[in-house]
Chains A and B, each alone.
Chain A
């Protein structure tokens, strides 16, 4: 692990215009953090706290209102072509193209990157098989179950072998057995290939299992708590961190509570 930060957010804020035109809504509030190359960071936070918005900023899909997003010394929003093939996203919803078969959906990224046709297809088929979708290559999304669609979208992001993987609750619509298998497969893949990953989840256990580090977001998005998980961390330490996370999360206002 190099000491140079790979991903850096410095005082990043994001405001959205309110739909009724009455001013703006603050979704990310002077968020700062750094992520090193090869690290897996799990992000926890209550619903609506700005986790997906942070992803969109990191992926350069939206522009920060203020502050600086820096990925390997480049601006992901401004430098559009530079990041081609470097960032892969598993979105919170599957976002499959309904007119493409499962295989063609996985091929999308590879086609955009102009990969060799034969190789691309072999890669895509390999990923579908690995995710338990062999035999469904030519199915259209509407004929797949929610969990299967989610796995196709995981395959789509992984197939391009990006340096940075952003996963927004990728396993949330899967049964626990499948999710467990994929979690260990995910960590293995990221570690083996020296990728860097940011992983949003609502499950504290999943965060602790996957993350080298866990960040808990405040609402609007700001770091409320952070803990480094070591392979050597004992059961007692884990419990401790878990309790702290629960404590921090319970201090957060719930969505329905009146805003003071």
Chain B
């Protein structure tokens, strides 16, 4: 038994990864390499993406598209949440639309974007925003609604200006919800972005995946996929670190460990 909880978790993760890799490697001995490329081939292709500057730039382009889309959806979501949060009347008009939008698959947005717009980057931005906007809006709205009435009245008893109220009460109240929303939507956006890049992008992870498919190069396809997954994991852990810092005031039950 490993005492340290983190160490134990790392060990467990390493074991399952090793088993998966071993199984893959085993399969590569029995199947042609275009079906199961050896692990080391995938590994070197992945490393190559990181050390070859032009390839790294394609990764960064995709990252920029993810962040651009998320940022756009976040800003729009904030505006929508404020508008909806202010009036139940407006809410009853907006909510059904957002629920409807939430049901539209990413691929449909790709088709719509291609027909409607010309600029490739704008198409991608449009797709990214449309696919993450409803979730962002609902999550920000929920965070806002979870504000304590007691704390609100207490703060109001000092009669702050609207801006001060926003700063001292509303922001700290909604920050946890916003961080969660970013974590959830980051996962969604990274899955959508590769589809969005099929609108004619000449660079980026989605474009590279398409290229590998045409070349029938599974090692390459897996390497690009791996890079995207690694990117999400890195950003995700950065968000978790920010969250831990921002929510350091929260008590942790000793039972919860």
Instruction: Give the A-binding residues of B (Cβ under 8 A).
Output: 150-151, 153-160, 164, 168-169, 172, 247, 249-251
The answer to whether B150 touches A93, judged by C-beta atoms less than 8 angstroms apart, is yes
Q: How many A-B residue pairs have CB under 8 A?
A: 54
Contact between A112 and B250, CB atoms less than 8 A apart: no
Give the CA-CA distance A80 to B153 in the complex, in Å: 13
Asked whether A142 is an interface residue with its Cβ less than 8 Å from the other chain, the reply is: yes
Q: Which residues of A contact B169 (CB under 8 A)?
A: 97
Known contacts A89-B154, A98-B250, A108-B158; 18 further A-B pairs (Cβ under 8 A): A56-B153, A80-B159, A81-B159, A84-B158, A85-B158, A87-B157, A88-B157, A97-B169, A98-B249, A100-B249, A101-B249, A111-B164, A112-B155, A112-B159, A113-B158, A140-B249, A142-B249, A142-B251
A-B contact pairs, 14 of them (CB 8 A): A59-B157, A61-B156, A84-B159, A98-B249, A99-B247, A99-B249, A101-B249, A108-B158, A109-B158, A112-B159, A112-B164, A113-B158, A142-B249, A143-B251
* Residue A91 lies at the interface, judged by CB distance under 8 Å to chain B: yes
Closest residue on chain A to residue B159 by CB atoms: A84
CA distance A84 to B172 in the complex (A): 22
Cβ–Cβ < 8 Å partners of B249 in chain A: 98-101, 140, 142
> How many of A's residues come within 8 Å of B, CB to CB?
28
Q: Are B164 and A97 closer than 8 Å at their CB atoms?
A: no
Q: How far is the CA of A196 from the CA of B250 in the complex (A)?
A: 37
Most interface-central of B153, B158, B169, B247 (chain A CB within 10 A): B158
Residues of B within 8 A of A59 (CB): 157
Task: Return the CB mask of A174-192 against B: 1 if under 8 Å, else 0.
Answer: 0000000000000000000
* A83 interface hit (Cβ, 8 Å): yes
Q: In the complex the two chains form, is A61's CB within 8 Å of B159's CB?
A: no
- Any chain B CB within 8 A of the CB of A130? no
Q: Is the Cβ of A97 less than 8 Å from the Cβ of B157?
A: no
Nearest to B247 among chain A residues (CB) is: A99
Inter-chain contact A91/B154, CB cutoff 8 Å: yes
**Complex Cα–Cα for A228 and B247 (A):** 50
Q: A98-B250, A142-B250 are in contact. Are A111 and B154 (CB under 8 A)?
A: no
Contacts of B172 in A (CB 8 A): 97, 99
| Residues of chain A within 8 A of B250, CB atoms compared | 98, 142
